[in-house]
Amino acid sequence: MKYKTKLYIGFGAITALMIFLLGIVSSLVTNIHTSVDEIVNDRYKKVEQATIVQNEVNNMTRALTNMLLADNDQQFQEEQNQLKKSRLQVATSLEYLNQHIKLPQGVENLAHMEVAYDNYSQLEKEILEDISAGRVAEASTKITHNAGLMKRELFTAIQNLKQFQEGLLDVAHQRAIESYYFTMKVTIGFVLAGLLLAIGITFWVIRSIGNSLNRITSAISSTEIGPSENLPRIEIITKDEIGEIARAFNQMADSLEKHNKQELEYKEAMQEHNWLKTKVAEITANYQGVQDLAALGQLIITKLSPLVGASYGVFYIKDGQDQQQRLQRKASYAFDGEAVGAEGFAMGEGLVGQCALENRPILLTDVPRHYAQIQSGLGYATPTQVIIMPVEFEGEVLAVIELASLEPFTELHQSLLASVLDTLGAAINSVASNMRIRKLLRESQTLTEELQSQSEELQLQQEELRSINEKLEEQYRNSELKTKELEKVKVDLEEKAKQVQQASQYKSEFLANMSHELRTPLNSLLILAKIMSENKEGNLSQKQVEFAHTIYSAGNDLLHLINDILDLSKVEAGKMSISPTDLSIYEIQAFAERHFRTIAAQKEIQFDIRLAQELPKRIYSDEQRLQQILTNLLSNAFKFTHEGRVTLEVRHAEPEELADHSFMYEVDPVLALSVIDTGIGIPKEKQSIIFEAFQQADGTTSRKYGGTGLGLSISREIAQLLGGCITVNSAEGVGSTFTLYLPAFYLDAKTEEILSLNEAAVGTYLDAAAAPVADEYTKVQDEKGESDSHEESLTDMEESSEVQLAGRKILVVDDDMRNVFALTTALEDRQMNVIFAENGREAIKMMEEHPDTDMVLMDIMMPEMDGYEAMRTIRQMPSYKSLPIIALTAKAMKHDRDKCIEAGASDYISKPVHMDQLFSLMKVWLYKK
Amino acid sequence: MNQEELETIEIELLLEGIYRYYGFDFRNYAVSSIRRRIWHRIRAERLTSISGLQERVLHDARVMEQLLADFSINVTEMFRDPGFFLAFRQKVVPILRDYPFIRIWHAGCSTGQEVYSMAILLHEEGLFDRTRLYATDMNEHVLRRAKTGTFPLDKMQLYTKNYLAAGGTRAFSEYYTVKSDQAIFEPFLGDNIVFAQHNLATDRSFNEFHVIICRNVMIYFDETLQNRVHDLFYDSLCMSGFFGLGNREGVVCTSHANDYEEVDGLEKIYRKVR
């Protein structure tokens, strides 16, 4: 119900109640009024009229008396008037009473009264006629007697009427009081009822309005203006205005809430936006100064991962060109190195590759267990989300970033990632190009430095070359100087050589004779011992035969020893001649077969001869000597081998084998003839001495194995004569390998000498060209070191290498004669030839006359042609382009000196000339001239 | 494995061996240069391989000495690259005038020509009396020669030309006398020079300097060693100190690129600014 209706009903009800009450009260009051009116107007009037009648009758009596007693007419008259008046009055009252008394008893009473009155009025008229007839005594008796009686009668009638009327009055009064009480009761009842009703309505109206209002008030008052999300709502119970208000309020609350919510969202969006911007700016600011991609990647991954709540992250950068493009891991965050994250991916390989290929981020939600483990010291967990995002620049993917998180990535995180990666593309590009530039710069710098170092080295080599040349020249000069001495020495030496040769010849002859002399009896001894040991006649005891054998074998040893000594002395005396012939490898093979096959069979040792492929068919060497060496090596091998095998191997020598034998280095081809045995071997420390004369590996072995101990030394000497050498390689208990390196084509001593000289020369030139100049340099130095004993001659040499001033032709150009004199004296003291000119022109003339001038000392300030011009002129002459010209200048200004140099002076010296300084200067400029 | 890799291994082993046995650290020298020097020595010793040289070097101190001499390229001249000395005279000397005392470090001085040149320059500019020149080299042999203050006569014509081009204000002949084939420089020039052995590859800073000159030394170093030496110089140079390099070198590619400003870009004179 509407509030208006409610109010209408409330107030209407109260108004109606009031009207009803008023009606009741007014009817009751009218009732009372009627009763009172009846009492007052009817009963009381009737009593009053009856009273008036009584009074007027009295008055008439009195008036009659008075008329009797009247002295004069006038009084009489007055009394008469009075009488008349009373009569009229009584008549009026009676008239009134007749009209108003309706009740039968009243009417009866009134009739009595009127009769009484008529009687009275008859008496009165008689009295009056008596008075008017002078019968005063009669009149007085009538008045006193009759009138009194009459009056009593009348008064009784009046009294009856009055009594009757008063009785009625009492009844009316009683009735009025009853009516009053009734009215009072009814009125009070109604008023009370109305009052209660009014109060009820009022209470109802107030209550219903108040409650609604209270609800609204409480709702409103509990509404706080602020960013609250939950505004109170008013429950709409009624459909009245309050309900409307409530509805309106609710609507307002709704829109307020909506507004707040929007505002809040907007604010949050703003905050997020700001956060985003700040973080992006923070990260971008860090790009500054990053100089390589790995550092940039590490920076990004370490900054970005915690920002987006990622627990591990990997950063891949694209590497390589075209088809070979790969994504290489450059940086990582909380990455444990092995378990997670591959080193790299090809484009399109795996999700990382796919992401790069499509240039589209990939988000993995619901990552399966064991996909990747995020580890800490306390444990590990599987990430819930993995995001893989490309980093692009101008549409090209440059890098890929992969992050894994225990929490899902929010949109904010994703947009942060997107924003950062947007800027990262440009940064990577710039860092990469920066790196490229730096790399190029670095490369160019390195090349420049390399160039410089090469140029310095070249300079150094040049210098070394020059110094070597100088040294060589010096040596050449030196040798020339010494040649003569040498010639002399040579003559002496030749003389001595002759003597030595003679002595040697004596020795050889002695040895030859000696051996012959020894051999002849020894041969007889051997033959006889042999015959004896055969015991053909059978007359010798077993013991004696044994003795004869011993004599024979000892003699045989002695013969070998003598032969060996002879050979050795021949070799050492240079007497062993080499007679090379053409021979075939197969001949060597056949020789070995022939001589050692049987021994091998006897000793039950395997004997192999191996010839390598592609050996030269024919060689040129001394067959006999070669056989001598082979025989020696092979017999040694068989001697020291008790089981196993002996092998003779012929092959080409490998270059590295010859490294230690530089003298064979240039010779080609070189044969290697190895004798390999499985004998007792030679201890390392003995290997060097076995080639010495009379040495065997073990001092005691000679006893066991026999032999002179000269075989190897003779073999070595012969090998050297043949242009080769012998090496040994052995291990004790395993066996030995003796290798003879032999040039396939023997060169006799003279040809060899010439050749080696040539080679050396060629080598020097080649070396010089190829750079290792220091070779020669060190050689020279070595020679110098060796020739320390010739210190004296060296100092001589140094002295001679000093710049010689003596004999030089010096042109002095000066117009100051004192100066010329002083200079000339000083120079001539040093045995120099001095010519002089007074001015430039003259100087040029002198130069033309003396083209062999070594140096010019040129004054500047001169008449006719000054020094500058003179120098310029001289320099224009082709043959004097590099002639040393020393300017003599009195001026101290640098400018003047520069002018000298510009004009063509080689150097300058200030006047007055300091002689020592001048000589130093001259030495500098005359150097090498 | 190809020949080149084998060679690299051999070189590394040789250098490691030298470092371990003799203490000379050539491990961070520029490979191409060191390779040439090594082959040079191999040929000179009539060997065939680097390993062969290694055997010789480790067992024969004389060969090591030779190799050491090969490794230190002592190419120098008086007033070498005269433009450098001219620029030094024109741009650095005016600032040095305000210093009460000047310390100059000549790293890699070789046989001392450039140190004497600097001494002459400073003498002519009137600064020599309050200057101390520290001349260092790793090669004691060349230091001994440097200490003598005598230089071969055959170079003196070139030196004179250089002196003139470097803005010399007097006569070059005032500074030397010739004896035999040597030019002996005035002994007073050596008074303020301290010669000392110092190896840039292994040794540390020994003073703070107003000027450091290290020309055509680092060209023989690889990047690592170059950076180490640059660190060393940076630490040894006082603030606003001058740094002179060879004209093929520079600070651009080093980690101290931003710590120097150019005084003369062409002649590679820098000044430490931070």
Interchain contact, A798 vs B180, CB within 8 Å: yes
Interchain contact, A449 vs B249, CB within 8 Å: yes
Please name the residues in contact with A557: beta carbons below 8 A apart, sequence gap of 6 or more. Answer: A706, A708
Interchain contact, B250 vs A445, CB within 8 Å: yes
Task: Tell me whether strands A362-364 and A385-393 are parallel, antiparallel or unpaired.
Answer: antiparallel
Q: Which CATH superfamily is domain B82-272 in?
A: Vaccinia Virus protein VP39 (3.40.50.150)
How many interface pairs between A and B have CB atoms less than 8 angstroms apart?
Answer: 128
pLDDT at residue B84 is higher than 90: yes
Q: Cis check for the bond before B94: say yes or no (omega within 30 of 0).
A: no
Interface test with A, best of B41, B75, B80, B156 (most A CBs within 10 A): B75
Q: Does A378 contact B at CB distance below 8 Å?
A: no
Burial bucket for residue A703 (CB in 10 Å: 0-12, 13-18, 19+): exposed
Burial bucket for residue A695 (CB in 10 Å: 0-12, 13-18, 19+): middle
The SS3 assignment for B10 reads helix
Angle formed by the axes of helices B156-165 and A894-903, nearest 10°: 130
Distance from CA of A861 to the nearest CA of B (A): 18
Q: Count the Cβ atoms, other than its own, within 10 Å of residue A403.
A: 25
Burial bucket for residue A634 (CB in 10 Å: 0-12, 13-18, 19+): buried
Mean pLDDT per segment of 10 residues, for chain A of length 929 residues? Answer: 78 83 82 77 79 84 79 81 85 84 81 84 83 79 78 82 81 81 81 83 80 77 67 72 79 85 88 86 81 82 83 82 78 64 75 81 77 72 83 85 84 83 84 86 86 85 81 82 83 84 71 67 77 79 85 81 73 72 84 84 87 82 85 86 88 77 65 88 80 60 57 83 85 87 72 44 39 38 40 40 79 83 84 88 89 90 84 90 87 77 88 83 82
Question: Which pLDDT value is given to residue A755?
Answer: 44
Distance from CA of A721 to the nearest CA of B (A): 24
Query: What is the value of pTM for the model shown?
Result: 0.48
**Which residues of chain B have a CB within 8 Å of the CB of A659?**
48
**Residue ranges of the alpha helices (H) in A708-816?**
711-721, 749-770, 774-786, 791-801
Nearest CA in chain A to B48: A659
DSSP symbol at B29:
B
Interchain contact, B252 vs A441, CB within 8 Å: yes
Distance from CA of A878 to the nearest CA of B (A): 20
Write the single-letter amino acid at A752. Answer: E
Nearest CA in chain A to B253: A442
Please name the residues in contact with A361: beta carbons below 8 A apart, sequence gap of 6 or more. Answer: A355, A387, A388, A389, A390, A414, A417, A418
Question: Which pLDDT value is given to residue A768?
Answer: 38
Nearest CA in chain B to A779: B44
Interchain contact, A453 vs B219, CB within 8 Å: yes
Nearest CA in chain A to B44: A775
Cα of A401 vs its chain's centroid, Å: 13
User: CA–CA distance from A385 to each of A333, A336, A390, A411 (Å)?
Assistant: 16, 18, 17, 13
**Which residues of chain A have a CB within 8 Å of the CB of B173?**
907, 909, 917-918, 920-921, 924
Nearest CA in chain B to A914: B174
Q: Which of B44, B70, B219 sits opposite A449 (nearest CB)?
A: B219
Q: Which helix (H) or strand (E) holds B184?
A: strand B182-185
Do the interacting molecules here have an ipTM over 0.85?
A: no
Q: Does A800 contact B at CB distance below 8 Å?
A: no
* pLDDT top residue among A805 and B241: B241
Q: What secondary structure does DSSP assign to A284-299, as a single string?
A: HHHHTT--SHHHHHHH
Burial bucket for residue A764 (CB in 10 Å: 0-12, 13-18, 19+): middle
**Which residues of chain B have a CB within 8 Å of the CB of A440?**
none
Interchain contact, B180 vs A925, CB within 8 Å: no
Q: Which of B40, B164, B176 sits opposite A772 (nearest CB)?
A: B40
Q: Does A449 contact B at CB distance below 8 Å?
A: yes
Question: For residues A667 and A71, what is the distance between their CA atoms, to the nearest angstrom?
Answer: 230
Torsion, Cα A143 A146 A150 A151, to 10 degrees, reads 30
Distance from CA of A612 to the nearest CA of B (A): 26
Q: Which A-chain residues 874-903 have CB contacts (< 8 A) with chain B?
A: 894, 897-898, 901
DSSP symbol at A860:
S
State the maximum Cα–Cα separation within chain B, in Å, rounded to a whole number.
62
Interface test with A, best of B36, B162, B219, B258 (most A CBs within 10 A): B219
Q: Which helix (H) or strand (E) holds B183?
A: strand B182-185
Q: Count the Cβ atoms, other than its own, within 10 Å of residue A610.
A: 12
Q: Does A798 contact B at CB distance below 8 Å?
A: yes
Write the single-letter amino acid at A810. Answer: I
Q: Where are the beta strands (DSSP E) in A657-734?
A: 670-677, 725-731
Distance from CA of A772 to the nearest CA of B (A): 5
Distance from CA of A724 to the nearest CA of B (A): 20
Interchain contact, B178 vs A909, CB within 8 Å: no
Q: Does A582 contact B at CB distance below 8 Å?
A: no
Burial bucket for residue A559 (CB in 10 Å: 0-12, 13-18, 19+): middle
Question: Which pLDDT value is given to residue B211?
Answer: 96
Q: Which of A450, A921, A925 sits opposite B30 (nearest CB)?
A: A450
Distance from CA of B34 to the nearest CA of A (A): 10
Distance from CA of A790 to the nearest CA of B (A): 20
Write the single-letter amino acid at B153. Answer: L
Q: Which of A450, A459, A917 sits opposite B32 (nearest CB)?
A: A450
Please name the residues in contact with B158: beta carbons below 8 A apart, sequence gap of 6 or more. Answer: B77
**Which residues of chain A have a CB within 8 Å of the CB of B223?**
442, 446
**Which residues of chain B have a CB within 8 Å of the CB of A925?**
157
Nearest CA in chain A to B76: A456
State the maximum Cα–Cα separation within chain A, in Å, rounded to a whole number.
280
**Which residues of chain B have a CB within 8 Å of the CB of A910?**
170-171
Distance from CA of A280 to the nearest CA of B (A): 28
Domain map (residue ranges) of chain B:
3-71, 82-272
Cα of A194 vs its chain's centroid, Å: 95
Q: Which of B44, B170, B246 sits opposite A775 (nearest CB)?
A: B44
Interchain contact, A894 vs B223, CB within 8 Å: no
Nearest CA in chain A to B257: A438
Interchain contact, B70 vs A774, CB within 8 Å: yes
Dihedral (CA of A496, A499, A502, A503) sign: negative
Distance from CA of A880 to the nearest CA of B (A): 17
Distance from CA of B153 to the nearest CA of A (A): 6
> What does the block give as tokens for A471?
């040294």
Distance from CA of B91 to the nearest CA of A (A): 19
Contact A344, A326 (CB under 8 A): yes
* Tens-digit pLDDT profile for residues B161-218: 999 999 988 889 999 999 888 899 999 999 999 998 898 988 888 888 999 999 989 8
Interface test with B, best of A449, A467, A803, A804 (most B CBs within 10 A): A449
Q: Which of these, A713, A720, A714, lies nearest to A741 by C-alpha position?
A: A720
